[in-house]
Chains A and B, each alone.
Chain A
Amino acid sequence: METQLETFETNLGNVRTAVTRTSPAAFQDALADVVDEPAIGASLPFEEITLEGTDIVLDPTPDQLREAACGVTPAALGVADYGSVVLESTPAGAELAGLFPDRHVIVVRERDLVPDMASAFERLGDRFRNGNGDAVIATGPSATADMGELVYGVHGPRETHAVIVEE
């Protein structure tokens, strides 16, 4: 029987999202391996890991946003059976950091995985009613078929990479 983490990992692969598994202790090293410079990001609302002390710019100017090759943002949830991640908007601009750069690195904790959309919506319903009212369920890179063939990287990122922090 596949674990939830394995299902998530498999489905991330199915939606063209690369995966790195790491521990809290090895997190910053693992991240450094998958981040392209220049990078911008949003603070992680997690106790065990942080982006402080890395080269990632956490309060970018509009120019830095435009020029960034990579954006690093946290995911509130991972949805195992779709390979989706839930990205919350924040006043610090997490939405922007995950949307403008070519490469989006998503930090998701194993403990925040849910098996399916039904569980995700249960969790989100509570958050939304408590005033945390913006989130994007993102599945793979941005894509279009409007130009006659499937192309990745349209207005949003061309590449997505999930860094899963194990318990």
Chain B
Amino acid sequence: MASERSRKADRIRHVMETEGDSVERNARGFNEGRYESVARLEDYDAYKDRARAIKEDAIERLPELIEQVREAVEANGGTVYVADDAADANRYVRELARERAAETVVKSKSMTTEEIDLNEHLEAEDCEVWETDLGEFVLQVADEAPSHLVAPAIHQSREEIAALFNEYFEPEEELETAEELTAFAREYLGERIEDADIGVTGANFVTADTGTMALVTSEGNARKTVAVPDTHVAVAGVEKVIPTFEDLQPFVELIARSGTGQDITSYVSLFSPPVSTPPVDFDDDEPIADDPAERDFHLVLLDNGRMDMRDDDQLRETLYCIRCSACANSCANFQSVGGHVFGGETYSGGIATGWEAGVHGQESADEFNDLCTGCSRCVNQCPVKIDIPWINTVVRDRRNRGAEGGELDFLVEGLTPDEEPAGLDLQKRFFGNFSTLAKLGSATAPVSNWVADTLPSRALMERVIGVDRRRDLPEFERETFVEWFRNRDEPRPVDADYHAVVYPDLYTNYIRTDRGKAAVRTLEALGVAVEVPDVASSGRAPLSQGMIATAEDHARDVAADLESHLEAGYDVVVIEPSDLAMFRGEYERLLDADRYEALAERSYEVFEYVYGLLENGADPAPLRGVDAGGVGADIAYHSHCQQRTLELEAYTTDVLDRLGYDVLTSDVECCGMAGSFGYKSEYYELSMDVGDRLREQFESPDAADRTVVASGTSCLEQLDGLLARRPRHPISLVAPDESE
């Protein structure tokens, strides 16, 4: 295990060094473009809802729609072939090439043909195959696989492409600028297009009622690929079919914005082939003439596991994906390593786990599935609202369950009160059972802290479970938050208007008890009657490791522990954003509907709750503003990923504003920690690379002198590792002093 981890760490480090800069620059550029472009779109959310509804409906009625496409295309004079799998699709296209004695095939960009390795199969038929999309062309020359769904050569810089072309093509004058490289490729590929016997494209969408394919492109190569040769083959997954022509509209508004941050691409081609443009024979001297009989069109609709995905309640949503790449671009880890690490045989980025598991088998998602930290930043970015982290969790769980029994299981026996199979990776089992460890660590603190931090135990932890020794361990408090509350002797507010449970999450209860105490003092100062009962941990830790059954157990315990309080009219105030995200999000999948709703509707993030109290007339006077000493007025605030996804960041900044703080917020996607991720030796360096973006921002002249504040536990741990300044939880700024 240890050697496998270090091999993985080496590979990640290598890719970060060789491809990281280009990927980061480009993916972040797309991402920032997306924020700007969707902000310009009126009714963005309504479009997302419509797009989602269209895809849900289409996948539901898919068999019927496929038949409708067949009728429409055949009525136009084309042919439809539904291919069961890659071999079937390749055989069909090969036979076409053989029938036509095709020597040259030109292609426009298509991930679906990458999925089935069509080029290799055509080359086996003695066809020359040329990728005409410039990004794909670069990869073809470099003999590399795409590293991004939309911009396949995103990992290559201009300098690298120039060196590649100069070496491969040996042009008379060395190519250098992007203009020169583009002009060269245009001319070179233009000749191939002129010679082509067959043009192959993908399809972004296929409409069932008119048999129209939509191709979303900017270069113009897809149009030439369709127009010039007399034979056109389109290869598309069956999931690309949508019911009507008008259904294209929301996707046209969303797809480019979501992908590269353009309002629209240069070309949205809508072809109902065979197209009415006359084919061009460049060997001919006569005027180009219309001869419809020469046009031949084949639509190959690929199943290759998709119909099984449709029957799979957890993977079905993957089929709603429009391959825009927003999930990849918004993913902090992807921004550092790109699709060559964060991807499988064909697909890359967040949604790749679903695709790879569906079309190539679950094991093809193994290598990269753990790179999804579940931070949820991609969730709101997806134009069809796919819960991508959940798909990643499900696949992780299925992989865990397929694991064979290991040799070292005895080491963690007793530490693993979980529902998982014997062979589950020890590291996952360790982090997934963090609640047990925290209980034990706290009971034996401070000795446990001291022992854990000795060199031999750090070495052992690194070797056996892969906890990186460069990462500081959390220190357990001897007195838990729950015990502190039980033991303290404070008068409770009488006749309070509000009653609230402060949820003692794992970290607040055992490690960062101060923030729990601060939350209690804050709420009491605002007149809330507070309780801190002993409540089970949320299950976030096992869920992150793909231990869904264990997480489900935790969820049921939490619901049972809180039931009497909820019935008595208490609200639940949650300090840890990742736990609130569980209550409002994943619990819907883990609990029955009544229990989920009861908890989700009454749970609040601590600043959301404070904000609500102030809005409802609570007097903020007892809270500490900037004049109270200790902390300056200038704050640099990093909100937690899930807090941002739930759109809760503004409550914290608003309350801090009201109390006179000047708040500057970070805008990077993530701090790079996301719970256990940054502790794992194979991911430590990646975690720090992601964190570096936040460090740079908080060390910039605007922020360098500000007090650093963060809401999430993992963010605080990461900031602690990144910055010389010690970060704090914002509740510690506003809570009244202990003595008062």
Residues of A near any B CB (own CB < 8 A): 59-63, 65-66, 82, 84, 89-96, 99-100, 117-118, 121-122, 124-125, 128-129, 133-151, 153-157
Question: Chain A residues with Cβ under 8 A from B290's Cβ?
Answer: 91-93
Q: Is the CB of B182 within 8 A of A147?
A: yes
> Nearest chain-B residue to A82 (Cβ)?
B264
> Nearest chain-A residue to B283 (Cβ)?
A62
Total interface residues on B, using CB and 8 Å? Answer: 70
Q: List 14 A-B contacts (CB under 8 A).
A: A62-B283, A82-B264, A128-B212, A133-B212, A136-B269, A136-B270, A137-B270, A141-B266, A144-B219, A145-B151, A148-B158, A154-B134, A154-B185, A154-B221
Question: Chain B residues with Cβ under 8 A from A118's Cβ?
Answer: 249
CB distance from B231 to the nearest CB of A (A): 16
Question: Chain B residues with Cβ under 8 A from A156's Cβ?
Answer: 219-220, 223-224, 266-267
Among the listed B132, B189, B270, which residue makes an inter-chain contact with A124, where contact means beta carbons less than 8 Å apart? B270
Interface residue? B665 (CB, 8 A): no
Docked complex Cα distance between A138 and B219 (Å)? 11
> Nearest chain-B residue to A155 (Cβ)?
B220
Q: Is the CB of A146 within 8 A of B138?
A: yes
Docked complex Cα distance between A87 and B273 (Å)? 16
CB distance from A58 to the nearest CB of B (A): 9
Q: Is the CB of A96 within 8 A of B288?
A: yes
Among the listed A92, A134, A142, which residue makes an inter-chain contact with B272, where contact means beta carbons less than 8 Å apart? A134
Q: Is the CB of A90 within 8 A of B276?
A: yes
Apart from A96-B280, A100-B224, 7 more pairs, CB < 8 Å: A91-B278, A124-B245, A128-B212, A146-B153, A153-B186, A154-B219, A155-B220
CB distance from A158 to the nearest CB of B (A): 10
Within 8 A of A (CB), among B213-264: 218-221, 223-224, 227, 244-246, 248-249, 252-253, 260, 263-264
Interface residue? B286 (CB, 8 A): yes
0 or 1 for each of B165-199: is its CB under 8 Å from A? (1 = yes):
00000000000011101100110011001100000
Interface residue? B76 (CB, 8 A): yes
Q: Is the CB of A137 within 8 A of B178?
A: no
CB distance from B132 to the nearest CB of A (A): 7
10 smallest A-B Cβ distances: which pairs? Answer: A148-B158, A156-B220, A133-B272, A91-B290, A155-B220, A146-B134, A149-B178, A146-B135, A142-B220, A59-B287
Docked complex Cα distance between A143 and B220 (Å)? 8
Question: Chain A residues with Cβ under 8 A from B286's Cβ?
Answer: 61
Q: Is the CB of B288 within 8 A of A149?
A: no
CB distance from B467 to the nearest CB of A (A): 40
Question: Chain A residues with Cβ under 8 A from B161's Cβ?
Answer: 147-148
Q: Is the CB of A61 within 8 A of B288?
A: yes
Q: Is the CB of B292 within 8 A of A117?
A: no
0 or 1 for each of B148-164: is its CB under 8 Å from A? (1 = yes):
00010100111101000
Docked complex Cα distance between A62 and B267 (Å)? 23
Among the listed A134, A141, A147, which residue makes an inter-chain contact with B270, where contact means beta carbons less than 8 Å apart? A134
Given A117-B253, A154-B182, A156-B219, is A137 in contact with B267 using a C-beta cutoff of 8 Å?
yes
Q: Is the CB of A144 within 8 A of B288?
A: no
Given A146-B134, A155-B220, is A96 in contact with B277 using a C-beta cutoff of 8 Å?
yes
Question: Chain A residues with Cβ under 8 A from B269's Cβ?
Answer: 135-137
Given A61-B285, A125-B246, A147-B134, is A82 in contact with B263 using a C-beta cutoff of 8 Å?
yes
Interface residue? B271 (CB, 8 A): yes
Docked complex Cα distance between A153 and B221 (Å)? 11
Q: Is the CB of A128 within 8 A of B218?
A: no
Q: Is the CB of B249 within 8 A of A117?
A: yes
CB distance from A41 to the nearest CB of B (A): 13
Q: Is the CB of B218 within 8 A of A95?
A: no
Interface residue? B484 (CB, 8 A): no
Question: Chain B residues with Cβ under 8 A from A66's Cβ?
Answer: 194, 282
Given A91-B278, A155-B132, is A139 in contact with B223 using a C-beta cutoff of 8 Å?
no
Docked complex Cα distance between A92 and B194 (Å)? 19
Residues of B near any A CB (own CB < 8 A): 26, 76, 132-135, 138, 151, 153, 156-159, 161, 177-179, 181-182, 185-186, 189-190, 193-194, 209-212, 218-221, 223-224, 227, 244-246, 248-249, 252-253, 260, 263-273, 275-278, 280-288, 290, 292
CB distance from B274 to the nearest CB of A (A): 9
CB distance from B486 to the nearest CB of A (A): 61
Docked complex Cα distance between A115 and B182 (Å)? 35
Docked complex Cα distance between A129 and B282 (Å)? 33
CB distance from B73 to the nearest CB of A (A): 11
Question: Chain A residues with Cβ under 8 A from B260's Cβ?
Answer: 145
Question: Chain A residues with Cβ under 8 A from B220's Cβ?
Answer: 99, 142, 154-157
> Nearest chain-A residue to B181 (Cβ)?
A147
CB distance from B216 to the nearest CB of A (A): 10
Q: Is the CB of A155 within 8 A of B249?
A: no
Question: Chain A residues with Cβ under 8 A from B268's Cβ?
Answer: 136-137
Q: Is the CB of A138 within 8 A of B267?
A: yes
CB distance from B700 to the nearest CB of A (A): 26
Among the listed B157, B246, B265, which residue makes an inter-chain contact with A148, where contact means beta carbons less than 8 Å apart? B157
Question: Chain A residues with Cβ under 8 A from B270's Cβ?
Answer: 124, 128, 134-137
Q: Is the CB of B266 within 8 A of A65?
A: no
Question: Chain B residues with Cβ under 8 A from A93's Cβ?
Answer: 277-278, 288, 290
CB distance from A29 to the nearest CB of B (A): 27
Given A96-B277, A121-B245, A124-B270, is A155 in contact with B224 using a C-beta cutoff of 8 Å?
yes
Q: Is the CB of B182 within 8 A of A99?
A: no
Question: Chain B residues with Cβ under 8 A from A96's Cβ?
Answer: 227, 277-278, 280, 288
Q: Is the CB of B134 within 8 A of A62?
A: no
Q: Is the CB of A142 within 8 A of B218?
A: yes
CB distance from B75 to the nearest CB of A (A): 10
Given A99-B227, A146-B151, is A62 in contact with B246 using a C-beta cutoff of 8 Å?
no
Question: Chain A residues with Cβ under 8 A from B267's Cβ?
Answer: 136-139, 142, 156
> Nearest chain-B residue to A149 (Cβ)?
B178
Q: Is the CB of B186 within 8 A of A129?
A: no
CB distance from B122 to the nearest CB of A (A): 21
> Nearest chain-A residue to B224 (Cβ)?
A155
Q: Which of A122, A133, A135 has the most chain B CB atoms inside 10 A of its CB?
A: A133
Docked complex Cα distance between A94 and B26 (Å)? 35
Q: Which of A60, A147, A154 has the most chain B CB atoms inside 10 A of its CB?
A: A147
Q: Is the CB of A62 within 8 A of B151?
A: no
Q: Is the CB of A149 within 8 A of B212?
A: no
Question: Chain A residues with Cβ under 8 A from B153's Cβ?
Answer: 146
Q: Is the CB of A91 within 8 A of B190?
A: no
Docked complex Cα distance between A92 and B181 (Å)? 33
Question: Chain A residues with Cβ under 8 A from B273's Cβ?
Answer: 134
Docked complex Cα distance between A138 and B494 (Å)? 69
Q: Is the CB of A134 within 8 A of B277?
A: yes
Docked complex Cα distance between A93 and B224 (Å)? 12
Question: Chain A residues with Cβ under 8 A from B209's Cβ?
Answer: 129
> Nearest chain-A residue to B260 (Cβ)?
A145
Docked complex Cα distance between A111 and B285 (Å)? 38
Among the listed A121, A125, A134, which residue makes an inter-chain contact with B276, where contact means beta carbons less than 8 Å apart? A134
Question: Chain B residues with Cβ under 8 A from A63's Cβ?
Answer: 285
CB distance from B602 to the nearest CB of A (A): 40
